[in-house]
Amino acid sequence: MSGPLRLLPGEGDSLPAIPRSHPRTRARPGWAKDPIDELAERLVEQVSGAVHPYEVAALLESDGMTGDRIRGHYGRAGLFALAEDLYHRVPRHYPEPPPSPDPWKPDHWRCALRGLVFALPGLAYVLGADLWRGTPDVTGLIAAALVAWAWNQALSHRAHLRLAAEGPAGAGRALRAGAPAGAVAATAVGLLVSGPGTAAAFAAGQSCYVAAATVLLVLGRERALALTLLPVASGAACLLWWRTPVTVSSGLLLVTVALAALAAGRAIRGTLRAAPGGDGTLPALRDSLPYGLFGLAAGALTMSGGGGTAGGRGIVVLTLSMGFAEWLLYRYRGVAVAALRASATVAGFTLRAGRALAMCLAAYTALLLAGALAVGADAVALPALGALLWTGLLLQAFALAWPPALVCLAAAAASAAGRPYGIDLLVCPAAAAVLFTWAWRHLGRPSAHR
């Protein structure tokens, strides 16, 4: 027969329906937990950190998830469908990176030692007070000190640049040439101003010591520098009970200068034997100019008492505070890096960095205020001078050298002029406010801390 039988009209127009088997899904009781929810709970830590469903798919595949299990147990068409479902069910929670060590964590003992070597040289002026008399001698000492400070600030910066570009050998060569030249220049200025005599000899020793101290500080030999100051410290301590003869005082001063020079020469020889290193990129000499100008202005402001009546006692307090000032410089940089990690917006970082700047500056000025009140120095001029110098050093640490140099030079010139009457008392507070505003603006940018 060629076709199906037609039994009744209207019947048999099509083939009879063939029963097909359908997969029977097992009914899940209402109290049973969704297996996808169970899977999400098991993988919540990994899935919450994913940025795309494909990451979840890779995770499931590495976990051995098969297509049959996905369709039979989870009721999804395939791996990517299940991954997308998991991705949308689990809230996003990106884990914080593990805490990293603070690259700017201050070394407390090193800062204390540097503060000590900044303060102890002042005892040489107590021990050698009989070596100068009259205004010309004092003026010659001040002139030689200003030249030495300016020169060695620039030399220190140049040596650090050579250290980064050429390694210790490059820094040693810079110090070998620059330190003696600075000592000769400062000695010549002291001799020209005060004339031949014991004051000029003291200025020569002062210049040689500052040059040697610069070498040792740049090369990280603070302990050796502190040991060279023991003769001066011992002689100054003896003055509490009896007055030492001029020959003994002069001998102790010469021993200190000789020890410092020998230690500096030994340190330089050690660097010259070091293997070359660094990236070889050496900036121009003019890049060190603002550091020298800042040293000149800072020295002039310190010698003049910051426009107030700080006097010698205020200078002692200022030098004793240098260790804490350096500690605060490191502390600010560490807090700023932590703020950079914790901030989600630029405004949030600016607020945190500004708060850290204000707190560090407040801590330093509070220390200077306490010291000024303790020794009877000017309680306004000394903290203002310290705030100006500390903010300038902070900006220099961020390679912003010209603003503090120019502001401090202007402050030194205005303080020296002193006209109209009383303007010198406002110079350091105004200059400190200018530098603080500059620092707040520029250091509040995340790019400054990269």
Nearest to 120 by CA among 216, 217, 207, 227: 227
Same domain? For 325 and 260 the reply is no
Length of the chain: 450
Same domain? For 328 and 441 the reply is yes
Same domain? For 279 and 292 the reply is no
Residue 416 predicted with pLDDT over 90: no
**Of the candidates 228, 254, 283, which is a domain's last residue?**
283
Higher pLDDT, 306 or 402: 402
Q: What is the pLDDT of residues 155-180, one digit of tens each?
A: 999 999 999 888 899 999 999 999 99
What is the pLDDT, as a whole number, of residue 347? 93
Residue 196 predicted with pLDDT over 80: yes
Q: How far apart are CA 37 and CA 199, in angstroms?
A: 88
Number of domains forming the structure of the chain: 3
Residue 26 predicted with pLDDT over 60: no
Residue 114 predicted with pLDDT over 50: yes
Same domain? For 123 and 268 the reply is yes
Give the pLDDT band (50/70/90) at residue 420: low
Is residue 249 included in any domain, yes or no? yes
What is the pLDDT, as a whole number, of residue 46? 86
What is the pLDDT, as a whole number, of residue 244? 84
Q: How far apart are CA 256 and CA 209, in angstroms?
A: 8
What is the pLDDT, as a whole number, of residue 1? 36
Q: Helix, strand, coil shares of the chain as percentages rounded to 5? A: 75, 0, 25
∠39-41-47 over CA atoms, to 5°? 80
**Of the candidates 228, 248, 283, which is a domain's last residue?**
283
Q: What is the pLDDT of residues 42-88, one digit of tens each?
A: 888 888 888 889 998 998 888 888 888 888 888 888 889 988 998 99
Is residue 433 included in any domain, yes or no? yes
Same domain? For 289 and 379 the reply is yes
What is the pLDDT, as a whole number, of residue 242? 86
Residue 310 predicted with pLDDT over 90: no
Is residue 99 included in any domain, yes or no? no
What is the pLDDT, as a whole number, of residue 279? 65
Residue 450 predicted with pLDDT over 80: no
* Domain coverage including residue 47: 35-89
Give the pLDDT band (50/70/90) at residue 305: low
The string of DSSP letters for 166-218 reads H-HHHHHHHHHHHHHHHHHHHHHHHHHHH-SSHHHHHHHHHHHHHHHHHHHHH
Q: How far apart are CA 317 and CA 336, in angstroms?
A: 28
Is residue 391 included in any domain, yes or no? yes
Residues 322 and 346: beta-carbon distance below 8 Å: no
C-alpha distances (whole Å) from 193 to each of 143, 201, 208, 304, 352 are 8, 12, 18, 18, 50
Same domain? For 448 and 315 the reply is yes
Q: What is the pLDDT of residues 355-408, one digit of tens each?
A: 999 999 999 999 999 999 998 888 888 999 999 999 999 999 999 999 999 999
Q: What is the pLDDT of residues 255-288, one digit of tens each?
A: 999 999 999 999 999 999 877 766 667 778 899 9
Same domain? For 204 and 343 the reply is no
Same domain? For 409 and 419 the reply is yes
User: What DSSP state is assigned to residue 120?
Assistant: G
Give the pLDDT band (50/70/90) at residue 423: low
Same domain? For 46 and 126 the reply is no
Helix (H, G, I), strand (E, B) or coil at 71: helix
**Of the candidates 247, 262, 283, which is a domain's last residue?**
283
Same domain? For 358 and 275 the reply is no
Give the pLDDT band (50/70/90) at residue 306: low
Average pLDDT, the chain: 87
Residue 246 token pair: 């001029």
Same domain? For 119 and 226 the reply is yes
Is residue 26 included in any domain, yes or no? no
Is residue 272 included in any domain, yes or no? yes
Is residue 29 included in any domain, yes or no? no
**Mean per-residue pLDDT, 16-45:** 60
Same domain? For 437 and 313 the reply is yes
CA 369 centroid distance within chain:
24
299 burial via Cβ count (<10 Å: 0-12, 13-18, 19+): buried
Which residue type, as a one-letter code, is found at position 140? G
**How many Cβ atoms from other residues are within 10 Å of residue 265's Cβ?**
14
What is the pLDDT, as a whole number, of residue 49? 84
What is the pLDDT, as a whole number, of residue 133? 85
Is residue 291 included in any domain, yes or no? yes
What is the pLDDT, as a whole number, of residue 418? 67
